[in-house]
Structure 1
Amino acid sequence: MKETAFVACLLAELALTAFVLASEGGTAHCPALCRCEIRPWFSPSSIYTEAPTVDCNDLGLSTLPEKLPSDTQVLLLQTNNIITIEKSLDYLANVTDIDLSQNNISSVSDVHLGPLPHLLSLHMEENWVPALSDSCLPSLPNLQEFYINHNLISSISPGAFQGLGRLLRLHLNSNRLRGISREWFQPLPRLEILMIGENPIVQLSDMNFKPLVNLRSLVLARMNMSEIPDNTLVGLDNLESISFFDNLFVRVPRAALKKAKNLKFLDLNKNPIERIQRGDFVDMFHLKELGINSMPALVSIDSFALNNLPELTKIEATNNPKLSYIHPNAFHKLPRLETLMLNSNALSALHRGTVDSLPNLREVSMHSNPIRCDCVIRWINMNQTGVRFMEPNSLLCVEPPEYQGQHVRQVHFREMTEICLPLISPGSLPDRVTVGRGNLVTLHCRAFGEPEPEIYWVTPSGDRVLPNSVSDKHYMHPEGTFEIYDITKREAGLYTCVAHNLVGADLKSVLVVVDRYFPHPSVNALHIYVRSVQPNSISVSWENTHGGLVSNIKWFTVANAKHPSMAHTARVPSDVKEYRLTHLNPSTQYQVCVEVMSMQLGHNRDCVNVTTKGLAHPVESRATWNTVVMAACAVLFIVVAAACSLIYTSLQSQHFYRKLMVDQSQSLLSPSTRPGSASSLTELCVAGVKVRATVIDLPENSM
């Protein structure tokens, strides 16, 4: 605000001075061939004014015109042949902007501008300046912009910018600087923008920019940097924007970025970063926009790669030819993200969970990707999201073949399968990797599928390597990245990535060559063996001495009138060495072939003819039948005997029952009463059992 007020007052003063000079008739004539007119002009603080301008651009001048109008505010001398300025311009009391770019100036000290207290902008880009000496720009106390880029500067004296305490913007990019000294910036406490990219800087140092306490924007583009020290950005508490465009970073410089606590805009475009990983952007609570475009090696954005960034509103990840995978949980706790740019990558799909995790998402750009129109992408057409897809006419299906070329939004979700095979992106793995002994080899394998596929690797020796397995020579990350440490010729060979789920598997191999060596297989590298033969099945196994990707097992009948030839195919991972063929016909000759694809020999194939066993011999069948008949007769005899026994038992029971009834009918009931008593004792004999009862006489009137 103070700088804006200062510039406003300065411009008002200049306007008043110009008016006085004009009223006094003191304005000189416009130099020959130049154009003098009032033009719009913006100050370094973006304040608009209409300034008297002298335009002497592209006139082939070797010296300045003899006399310039004294009310000149903007002096344009671009694209001439000026080498030095010997005569002071201090008579231009109102000048605020001088452009000396694209001339033949070889020393800033040869430009004698004189005391110009109102000069705000000085352009000297595209000259031949090799160095900046101490106090190279004296008597410019209010200079706010100095453009000295695209020169030949290889050295800068510690006091080169002495006296430029109000400088806000400094462009040193595209020179020949090989190092950066913090002493350069000591006189520049107000500097807000520093562009120092495109210099062959060998290495940055800790606290290189610490004196620039008010720096807001730092451009370190095209400096061939592969890393920066952790404390490089210490002291830049007001830094809002930083650009690492077109460097050689293979990973995000997370430790250094963590020191820039108020960073809002981060440009990592065009770096050979292979993975965006968890923790790359930790504690960047004020980050608003992230650019990870045009990365030639970027393969994946892994789980929780962008986590807890509460102010992030835009992600640009476009034009990455190998970016084939974004983990469903890649974006976590991004409550303000509105725009997700993912066009022109190698993505076959975008998980629904990725979009559902972004509550404020408004628009997604997915066009110009090889979209696979099946289970993973079907959510797009289910009308369950309010997200707008940019350029929908360029959102086309590439797979499966029946939908190729169709617009994704025109394929009804019911036509897409709910589950599907894994698919390893062709761009995620190269066919061949050549390295030197002792290096680290990193192989990335990513796959989409539903259910979410699991990934493992198979080494040239046939060993299966699972995620997080521990070894002295290699390690597999959970996302599918396989690392080989301190590689030697013993580890050279074919490595196979296997992605599998409940539906099936996909496989892709890469040949690792160490110091131009890889194991050459013998001519008969593939051998197939018959392990067992049954009437309806055959078991085969094989040995593959050079490793490889088993693409097919094929079997078919040899010409037979009863069973016409029909080929069958099975695809198995490279670590499977045995297979059982079932549902075969008995007494039938089959040809079984195993075909292995390898980088060394291409398709390697071996076949064997096998005849299934026939059914059992007829004599044996009759003997078996006789045995069955005899057994049936024995069972029948046992059943008849049991029935007879049951009948006999029943007849005996009936005879006993009749006898019992006869005895009961012959039994008499003979009561006897003893006189002389009010009661009598009666004896009853029922079926030989005596029962005594007492009979009591009651008077007739008792009733």
Structure 2
Amino acid sequence: MTDKLDDTGRDSVCGLPHGSDYSLQQRCAQRIQLFIESPQVKKVNTNSQHEIGENGCRPPLRRCDPARNLLARFELKVRKWPDDLSGLSAHNSYLAAHHTDGLGASPHSLLRNAASLLNFCERRQPANMVLSLQPWLPLLWLCAGLLLSSAPPLLGKECPRLCVCEIRPWFTPQSTYKEATTVDCNDLRLKHIPSNLSTDTQVLLLQSNAISHTRGELDALFNLTELDLSQNNFSNVEAVRLTDMNHLTTLHLEENHITQLRENCLGNLSNLQELYINHNEISSISPRAFGGLRNLLRLHLNSNKLQVIDNRWFEETPNLEILMIGENPVIGLLDMNFKPLGRLRSLVLAGMDLTDVPANAFVGLDNLESISFYDNKLQRIPQLALEKVPNLKFLDLNKNPVHKIQEGDFRNMFHLKELGINNMMELVSIDRFALDNLPELTKLEATNNPKLSYVHKLAFRDMPALESLMLNNNALTALYQHTVEVLPNLREISLHSNPLRCDCVIQWMSSNRTTVRFMEPTAMLCTSPSELRGKMVREMRKLEPLEQCLPLISHDTFPSHLDLELGASVSLDCRAMAEPEPDIYWVTPLGAKITADTVSERYHLSSEGTLRLFHVQVEDSGHYTCVAQNTEGADTRVASVRVNGTLLDNAQVMKIYVKQTESHSILVSWKVNSNVMSSNLKWASATMKIDNPHITYTARVPVDVHEYNLTHLQPSTEYEVCLTVANVHLQTHKSCVNVTTRGATFSLDLSAQHPSVAVLAVMATMLAFLSLATVGVYVARRWKRKNYHHSLKKYMLKTSSIPLNELYPPLINLWEADGEKDKDGGAEGKPSPVDTTRSYYMW
């Protein structure tokens, strides 16, 4: 009669070399103590901890095997001994009387509690949990004490030196209990397999030795069912020389130095069901390397050097149920990668640096129940690929840089029971309807996500079976009551170790409005407002209830600084919580307000507050402000966006400066920032404006002009000169400068001219005075002659020697020229065409 238990067992705690001076009881106790204090007990095996088995339990870790063997051996004693513990020695009776710790006094009750120990050991643990067996030390001592009489030695040949040979419990790959003739030669630093092995040997343990090849020692072991050669020095499988072993079901070759698997390298093992070849150096596997292994159920290829996964490997293993192939530097998964594995139930793809999963990677895996993507680089949920797994029950997405959980990420996963989204360093939010229509989901774990600061009020929908919601150790400031009310079967919430804001949003937690149990309520502490900092949330019941409160933007949903490449697109996720729920809009660096109704080729704002920027240019850099507003007020938060390392404000895109100043004119020029490529900053229009308290001028400037001359200004007067341009995307940029014209003194004007011009001016002035004097004399004499009737012939002949036509025309021409110029200036209403490569003038 055999008993069906949980899974396979191997190794024993109590196997010690024969001939020791210790009694079996002392040796057994010593081995148990060493086992409890060993690193294997205190450290979780990385590969096994990610594998999820049937009913949500992981297959047993190697650390649990000694406890399982103790249980099985103890069970043999229970079948033979009466309930009054008459088979125990006095010492064991003392242990049973004083160290049961509630485990029970009868062997049968001890057996039941030993089974509980196994259940505790094998149940799924968090990735960072340290397993301690100290509370079970009395039980293990008691089990050791029951083994006062050693197992019968193997018949036939003598047991190899330093090895332990005995009958031990053994479990088949189907978890069926049996008793097996076992030879334990672990940890002996052997360089060769002992030659005097009994032909009755069924389990041969040679772990942690220095064996690099065999010399025929295994040829006569026709009854061998399990062979452990892990942690040795084999460089290839052929060196093991496994021939005619029709009963071998389990082979351990992990932690050797195997570099490749050649074609049909294990073809003689037709009944092999478990192959552990992980933690080697395998970089190449022949397409038919597993030829002949049609009964293989479990294959461990993790922690090797594989760069590709070839679906031809699995064509010879159609019955495979568990595949662990993680921690390989695989370039990426391919479509139909696992299609031959129609019976696969568990797939572990942990630690492969996967950034994406093709939509058809899991086609053909109709019976797959669990997948682990632990410790990859997935930035979004591989929803299209997971849709091809109709019977998925357990999904491990822990330790991936997923940014947010969105609507549709888990679509059509009707049989999903447990979901893990823990330790996601980039996860910021669980958005509206992110988990929807999951009728069988019973447990959701979203813990230890340092940026997870927002869970939407409607994040969960149609999840009638959810019982456990783990949200502890995140950055959550609140959780809406409605989020919990829509989960009819919810029994417990873990929300501790979050920076909770104790206002109207979470005041429901302090009352008896729900039947949900909060785990570790003493660790649910307020961080704001300041008067409640450090107090427990449940103390809020003493405060006056509030129905409305200010919005609070979740500070981890988008970064405060962002560096982008030219032409990139980016999303800025702004999330806020308040009562009533706030409206969210954004303000661009140029002051434009972006709402969900805004239509633009450059921006798009979702209803939840995500601003999408498309094909950014340098002029898009600057400060973007998120505003969350409700009837109580508003909260804002700014993100500084750099493009190609440049952070521009409105004035930095271009700069206007004064090139030359005169008493009646100003020459200005402007320059585009050197970081803004001319091809990315093309003006659609430009306007020049000059302004002071007395006068304002405005003129349109040709697009390609970069210099302008402003004329007919007042001397010693301050002006503000501004240039406003609009680019092809209707974004405007403005740059201004203040300048004062020069004074209009004569001497100053002369000094500014060329020296020859000054000389000519002096000569012209002298000539003018001389001409005016001559005219004066002439006029006076004419007047005198007219009045006194004297003869003036003598004088007239003298004055006529000065030609008046040579004096008047220059003055008259000068006045006429100025008059014409004034007329032209007065008729000009806008700048006349000028060579645009040089400058323009404005009157």
TM-score (norm 2): 0.58
- The structure-2 alpha-carbon separation of the partners of 1:470 and 1:295, relative to structure 1 and needing over 3 Å to count, comes to farther
Distance in 2, matches of 1:307 and 1:509, equals 32
1:500 aligns with: 629
1:335 aligns with 2:473: no
Which has the larger share of strand? 1
2:507 aligns with: 378
Distance in 1, matches of 2:181 and 2:330, equals 41
Equivalent pair of 2:377/2:400 in contact (CA under 8 Å)? yes
1:351 aligns with 2:485: no
Amino acid at match of 1:252: I
Amino acid at match of 1:423: L
In the TM superposition, residue 117 of structure 1 has moved relative to its aligned partner by 1.3
- The structure-2 alpha-carbon separation of the partners of 1:413 and 1:226, relative to structure 1 and needing over 3 Å to count, comes to farther
Q: 5 Å matches for 1:126-525?
A: 126-412=255-541, 414-467=543-596, 469-519=598-648
- The structure-2 alpha-carbon separation of the partners of 1:23 and 1:351, relative to structure 1 and needing over 3 Å to count, comes to closer
Amino acid at match of 1:54: V
Match of 1:29 among 143, 148, 158: 158
Q: Secondary structure at the match of 1:415?
A: coil
| Over 4 Å off, 4+ runs | 22-26, 520-523
- The structure-2 alpha-carbon separation of the partners of 1:23 and 1:323, relative to structure 1 and needing over 3 Å to count, comes to closer
In the TM superposition, residue 25 of structure 1 has moved relative to its aligned partner by 8.0
Q: Secondary structure at the match of 1:109?
A: helix
Amino acid at match of 1:87: G
Distance in 1, matches of 2:522 and 2:433, equals 31
Distance in 1, matches of 2:437 and 2:358, equals 25
Equivalent pair of 1:88/1:114 in contact (CA under 8 Å)? no
2:750 aligns with: none
Any unmatched runs of 5+ in structure 2? 9-75, 77-150, 655-843
In the TM superposition, residue 428 of structure 1 has moved relative to its aligned partner by 2.1
In the TM superposition, residue 24 of structure 1 has moved relative to its aligned partner by 13
In the TM superposition, residue 266 of structure 1 has moved relative to its aligned partner by 0.8
Q: Secondary structure at the match of 1:41?
A: strand
C-alpha distance after superposition, 1:98-133 (max 9, x if no partner): 111111111011110222111111111111111111
Q: Secondary structure at the match of 1:376?
A: coil
2:172 aligns with: 43
C-alpha distance after superposition, 1:8-40 (max 9, x if no partner): 9xxxxxx9xxxxxx9998522121122223333
Equivalent pair of 1:429/1:443 in contact (CA under 8 Å)? yes
Amino acid at match of 1:234: V
In the TM superposition, residue 520 of structure 1 has moved relative to its aligned partner by 5.8
Q: 5 Å matches for 1:564-583?
A: none
C-alpha distance after superposition, 1:154-200 (max 9, x if no partner): 11111100111110000111111111111100011100001111111
Q: Secondary structure at the match of 2:165?
A: strand
Distance in 2, matches of 1:402 and 1:217, equals 51
Equivalent pair of 2:269/2:292 in contact (CA under 8 Å)? yes
Amino acid at match of 2:582: P
Q: Secondary structure at the match of 2:183?
A: strand
Distance in 2, matches of 1:392 and 1:405, equals 13
1:107 aligns with 2:236: yes
In the TM superposition, residue 93 of structure 1 has moved relative to its aligned partner by 2.7
Q: Quote the sequence identity (%).
A: 56
RMSD: 2.3
Q: Secondary structure at the match of 2:601?
A: coil
Equivalent pair of 2:549/2:579 in contact (CA under 8 Å)? yes
Equivalent pair of 1:87/1:113 in contact (CA under 8 Å)? no
- The structure-2 alpha-carbon separation of the partners of 1:478 and 1:27, relative to structure 1 and needing over 3 Å to count, comes to farther
Distance in 1, matches of 2:555 and 2:584, equals 15
Amino acid at match of 2:442: T
TM-score (norm 1): 0.70
- The structure-2 alpha-carbon separation of the partners of 1:125 and 1:210, relative to structure 1 and needing over 3 Å to count, comes to same
Equivalent pair of 2:621/2:649 in contact (CA under 8 Å)? no
Distance in 1, matches of 2:422 and 2:607, equals 25
Match of 2:252 among 123, 137, 159: 123
Equivalent pair of 2:287/2:312 in contact (CA under 8 Å)? yes
Distance in 1, matches of 2:330 and 2:236, equals 22
Distance in 2, matches of 1:468 and 1:156, equals 57
Which has the larger share of helix? 2
In the TM superposition, residue 138 of structure 1 has moved relative to its aligned partner by 2.6
In the TM superposition, residue 76 of structure 1 has moved relative to its aligned partner by 1.4
Amino acid at match of 1:197: G
1:56 aligns with: 185
Distance in 1, matches of 2:302 and 2:598, equals 47
Moved more, 512-521 or 123-132: 512-521
1:546 aligns with: none
Q: Secondary structure at the match of 2:508?
A: helix
1:85 aligns with 2:214: yes
Equivalent pair of 2:152/2:167 in contact (CA under 8 Å)? no
Any unmatched runs of 5+ in structure 1? 9-14, 16-21, 526-703
1:98 aligns with: 227
Q: Secondary structure at the match of 2:538?
A: helix
Q: 5 Å matches for 1:661-676?
A: none
Amino acid at match of 1:270: K
C-alpha distance after superposition, 1:550-591 (max 9, x if no partner): xxxxxxxxxxxxxxxxxxxxxxxxxxxxxxxxxxxxxxxxxx
- The structure-2 alpha-carbon separation of the partners of 1:476 and 1:390, relative to structure 1 and needing over 3 Å to count, comes to same
Equivalent pair of 2:153/2:165 in contact (CA under 8 Å)? no
Distance in 2, matches of 1:361 and 1:85, equals 58
Q: Secondary structure at the match of 1:490?
A: helix
Q: Secondary structure at the match of 1:412?
A: helix
2:757 aligns with: none
